[in-house]
Structure 1
């Protein structure tokens, strides 16, 4: 029985894999938190991997605190770059398959058309720079790695934009939300399913792929979609990014072109509103 190791098991994507794993009993699943796979402590990492001896690694662990990364540069680099290099080296030496999750923040946001996998990268914050360094390091040591860039991830698990906005709309009379950053949300359950569709496919075609839900929206429009589902009466106002300064700059446009993953693996990509309804249904319980 092949063994699948999921890193970052307590995060949004890792938590979705715990649910999804019930549909894949043909695999022996290992869900590793920070103590079992220490992405922030590289000296332990090889030993931990050798103890587990996986056949497939789904690297969902990452340093994702985008603003905090501006002041925790070293830690972000260790987790998002150097640990990825160690994992990729291990997979090369032991003939292990690796799907590594990356981000739309590798782009600078100056595009006006959906970004494909060949688009030039130019990160504008530390988080994006460390994630891009991780991509390059992984492919340099193991060209057989498969990387999936995703964007605006949310889930019924963990802390995320959807849960925060749902709560704030209940607590406040009005909300200001940035309306000049354009992209598409990703329901973590859909991303997990796409990754398993790849794992289950006979063909393993390495390289970089994009995955997010379908749709082109701003964060402001995302909140309006959440409000449409919840029916909250809060007034939602769109504001420019300049009116909401953050330590880390965000790309103004990072919509991902999904045509490669659809053509290569026949992945079905749900519309963002359909997936949002599913997630909100779970949150309502």
Structure 2
């Protein structure tokens, strides 16, 4: 017999939460409890306390986040409530209950001025409200807890939720021309790969706590990613795809936000697919 590891997944209706649910049956010794925002509002500490008082968890995977970068500029209060204060609430309850927190953060904590991949030691300097709110959440985790895994990722997509992959598929079904920016470079990351990495990390029973970067390998512009999406869906020859370096957006975004995975690979010995290889595995629209 093995000891069951009890895991709470917050933000369970988001794309990463759904990707974890998709692969949960592959982890027999894990006992999952999935909570979406209706069941658990992380901005209300009392709700977290109530859940923890009824159930004991070994790990919390915090997938709950306010991720709309554009709307965050217009509603910073909401962004900070969820991405900062909500994270603080979770961290405090994790400390009280001796629960290990796995918190998901973002490449947008960096300003994009660097010309080479960002390491975990690089100093964050977010240039939009979303990034600032996520950085504040990171700071709370690091100030409150000793045992945590803070995982920064980038450009998440999957067959679930709202993301660039699904947006391009939707637009390509109703429009004849798509104009996509080349002014940002990052790494599209298959949320299914991230979900597996997180669960494998728990299974390792490692004490190598701290900040880690996880995305797929390689780099691309949003235009490059759009081209792969159209190729994958068989629409590249029927849609006119154009580049632009002057795309109208409300929130500033980092021009370059590729994350270095060297520390992650060295410590956890995991293999990471190139973004274009991983993308080939995604379900077609």
Q: Is the 8 A contact 1:3 1:28 kept in 2?
A: yes
Equivalent residue for 1:77? 80
Measured in 1, the distance between the counterparts of 2:50 and 2:234 equals 51
Task: Find out whether 1:236 has 2:241 as its counterpart.
Answer: yes
User: Alignment RMSD, CA only?
Assistant: 1.2
Give the TM-score taking structure 1 as reference length. 0.95
Measured in 1, the distance between the counterparts of 2:13 and 2:166 equals 17
Give the gaps of 5 or more residues in structure 2. Answer: none
Task: Find out whether 1:200 has 2:203 as its counterpart.
Answer: yes
Report deviation, 1:48.
Answer: 2.7
Alignment: residue pair count? 280
Alignment of 1:177-256 (within 5 A): 177-232=180-235, 233-240=238-245, 243-256=246-259
Task: Find out whether 1:65 has 2:43 as its counterpart.
Answer: no
Q: Is the 8 A contact 1:88 1:145 kept in 2?
A: no
Give the TM-score taking structure 2 as reference length. 0.95
Measured in 2, the distance between the counterparts of 1:161 and 1:255 equals 17
Give the gaps of 5 or more residues in structure 1. Answer: none
Measured in 2, the distance between the counterparts of 1:51 and 1:253 equals 44
Q: Is the 8 A contact 1:182 1:217 kept in 2?
A: yes
Report deviation, 1:138.
Answer: 0.6
Alignment of 1:134-153 (within 5 A): 134-153=137-156
Q: Secondary structure at the match of 1:193?
A: helix
Report deviation, 1:42.
Answer: 3.4
CA distances 1:83-120 after superposition (whole Å, capped 9, x unpaired): 11121122222211111000000001111000000111
Measured in 2, the distance between the counterparts of 1:65 and 1:53 equals 32
Q: Is the 8 A contact 2:216 2:272 kept in 1?
A: yes
